[in-house]
Amino acid sequence: MAIYHLSVSNVSRASGSKATATLSYISGRRVHDERRGETYDYGRKERVLRVGTLLPEGAPAEYADPAVLFNAVELHETGRTARPAKKIVVALPREFTPRQRVQALEEYIRENLNADGYAATYAIHDDGRGNNPHAHILVANRQIDPATGGWARLKQRMEYVLDERGERVPLIDPETGRQKTDKRGRRQWKRTSVSLNPLDRKVKLKALRESWANTCNARLDETARIDHRSLEDQGSDLEPTIHEGYAARAIERAGGVSERCQTNREIRRSNSLLTAVRAELGRIFDRLGELFAAKIGRLRRRQARPEPAEPNWRYFEGDARRQLEADKADHTAAIRGKLMDARADVGNREEWWRSHGTEEHEAAKQIIDVARAASREARDANIFKRGRLLRNAEQVAGEQSERLRGAVPWLEDADIPADWDQANRFRMRTTKAIYDHDMQPRTRLVAELERRLEQAERAESERPSPEQVKALALRMAEQRAQAENPTQDTKRPAPSGDEPLDLSEPEDWGEASPFESRQAPRTKADLLNEIRQRTDRLTGQREAEQRQIDPWSAQPPQRRGHGR
């Protein structure tokens, strides 16, 4: 996959580097430095695939030889801190053929360097095995004047330093705190050196980075495009890799583990995991968007259909609440009656036990008494007969135990002891076990009814919920509507579960309805009856006024009761 890399650095005489030595390194050729009288030969020709020199308009023809070109620029730059050249290193996409590499590189140099008057030599490298294709571009750091063919005169100039208001900044004497003046008394101002070399400006460097990306993308497929922007400028939170370098890759080829290469492997692993998680989240969000759009479509289609008019259930709200409270009271009374019957059944059964018992109890007593008689006989015998009678008591106890298991199969402990005292205690335990087994269904029913009664009483003390009141009032309203107009179908369709949510503000169902606070009919029929009664009263009053009845001429009312 194609990657983006472009770095720019200076060949600075102050740091000990020289343009001729750099040329020997990138070209793999012997280069003689005429200024210092030294010859450089760094070898490693096997990694150099191609070397070429491109000149701007008006440059001398002899500069086509890179050794002549960079010796000329070295001789022209005389300062101890001069920077005769710049180095540009770019990564070549692996998708490029050898011909495409040369075309992209030369097009980039012509459009971005030769067009501004710079001469440059490029060298295409790899690691000797066809991996890590890249190119070194050595640029003479002084422009060539197309009119004269010589080097441009100025690379920098001095300018005044301006403040935020655009005014010159005075040069202050630290001893006096006043502005400095020269021998003629003229005031001094701060000045700074401004480079006239475009290659020293950030705007030009950003343009170089963007242009290399555009040059490569013009020859790459859409799936292999590169981006000159940093991950931060792209708005990505992926972690950038670090530069590995030739030494780190050499360690890896030798079978070792380079720390820088290992760091990059970890970064790529975490970035790939983050990319996979983002892709999965993208698919999830896309699916949620589809489901949401389908849901909105269903809601819109449902809202487009006219909804059936809801019956006016407010007239039945009070009846519904009273009906719910009455149903709760009836339910509590029914459970209370069942509990009283269950407790009476427990008392009757206990009375029955005290007087009669059960068949299982009587059979168990008879079986145990036979074993008790044998053990009592062994207890009361003298010392000469006691051994034989004890053995007889054990045999009888075993036989009676078998009979007891057949008579009471659910009894857990059915082994009758051969000792008299133990047999008496066993008889008492067996009687209690039979009693508990017989009474258990009745006592369990009493406990269950007590629990249900407690729940019913707690529910009865609570007010019916607004939802319950409304549901019952709606049913009452529908029944009344059906009774008044049997031909009208007031049944509402069954909910499908996809109904839109009601997001309007709910009413305060906790307060009493206004229909309950005033003395008004609770139902429509009562309202009609009262209207008729009022009409009759008004009609009677009008008739009485028309007749002008004299109260003194009316017959006195007949008194009821004892006459004189």
Segment 458-482, tens digit of pLDDT: 988 888 888 888 888 888 888 888 8
Cα separation values, 374 from 255, 385, 389, 403, 421, Å: 98, 13, 8, 16, 12
Question: What does the alpha-carbon distance between residue 175 and residue 539 come to, in Å, rounded to a whole number?
Answer: 119
- How far is Cα of residue 327 from the mean position of the Cα atoms in its chain? 47
Cβ contact 146:56 at 8 Å: yes
Q: Please provide the average confidence, as pLDDT, over all residues in the chain.
A: 81
Q: What is the pLDDT of residues 421-440, one digit of tens each?
A: 998 999 899 989 988 998 89
Cα of 169 vs its chain's centroid, Å: 57
pLDDT tier at 292 (50, 70, 90 boundaries)? confident
Q: How many other CB atoms sit within 10 Å of the CB of residue 494? A: 6
Nearest CA-CA partner of 423 in 391, 392, 401? 401
* 216 Cα distance to chain centroid: 40
- In contact, 65 and 34? CB cutoff 8 Å: no
Closest CA to 195 of 154, 231, 254: 154
Q: Indicate the residue type of 274.
A: L
Sequence-ordered alpha helix ranges (H) in 136-217: 202-217
Task: State the Cα–Cα distance between residues 280 and 80, nearest whole angstrom.
Answer: 59
Nearest to 208 by CA among 119, 117, 108: 108
pLDDT of 549 over the 60 cut: no
How far apart, in whole angstroms, are the C-alpha atoms of residue 428 and residue 270? 79
Q: Return the amino acid letter for 123.
A: A
Amino acid 441: pLDDT = 92
Q: Give the pairing type, strands 120-125 and 156-160.
A: unpaired
At position 215, the amino acid (one-letter code) is T
What single DSSP character describes residue 506? P
Q: Are 427 and 365 in contact (CB under 8 A)?
A: yes
Say how many C-beta atoms besides its own lie within 10 A of residue 169's C-beta. Answer: 13
Structure confidence at residue 287 as a pLDDT band (50, 70, 90): confident
Nearest to 237 by CA among 207, 273, 205: 273
Q: 157 has which bridge partners?
A: 194
Question: Phi and psi for 419 in degrees, rounded to 5?
Answer: -85, 145
Counting residues of the chain whose pLDDT is more than 90, the rounded percentage is: 27
SS3 assignment, position 502: coil
Model pLDDT, residue 134:
92
Dist CA 28 CA 132 (whole Å):
17
- The yes-or-no verdict on residue 198 having pLDDT over 90 is no
**537 vs 109 pLDDT, higher one:** 109
- C-alpha pair distances (Å), 77 with each of 73, 99, 151: 6, 36, 10
Residue of higher predicted confidence among 518 and 298: 298
User: What local confidence, expressed as pLDDT, does residue 385 receive?
Assistant: 86
What pLDDT is attached to residue 280?
87
| Strand, helix or coil for residue 51 | strand
Closest CA to 441 of 342, 308, 555, 560: 342
- DSSP one-letter code for 106: H
| Amino acid, res. 169 | V
Whole-prediction pTM: 0.45
CA-nearest of 27, 32, 74 to 51 is: 27
Q: How many CA atoms lie within 13 A of 178 on its CB side?
A: 6
For residue range 140-183, what is the model confidence (pLDDT) as tens digits?
998 898 888 888 876 666 777 788 888 888 888 888 888 888 88
Q: What sections of 230-315 are H helices per DSSP?
A: 245-253, 259-304
Cα–Cα distance for residue pair 496/503, rounded to 1 Å: 19
Q: What pLDDT is recorded for position 519?
A: 43
Residues 25-82: tens digit of each pLDDT: 999 999 999 999 999 998 777 789 999 999 999 999 999 999 999 999 999 988 888 8
201/195 Cα distance (integer angstroms)? 8
Closest to 139 measured CA to CA, from 204, 226, 49, 219: 204
pLDDT of residue 261: 84
Contact between 124 and 109 (Cβ < 8 Å): no
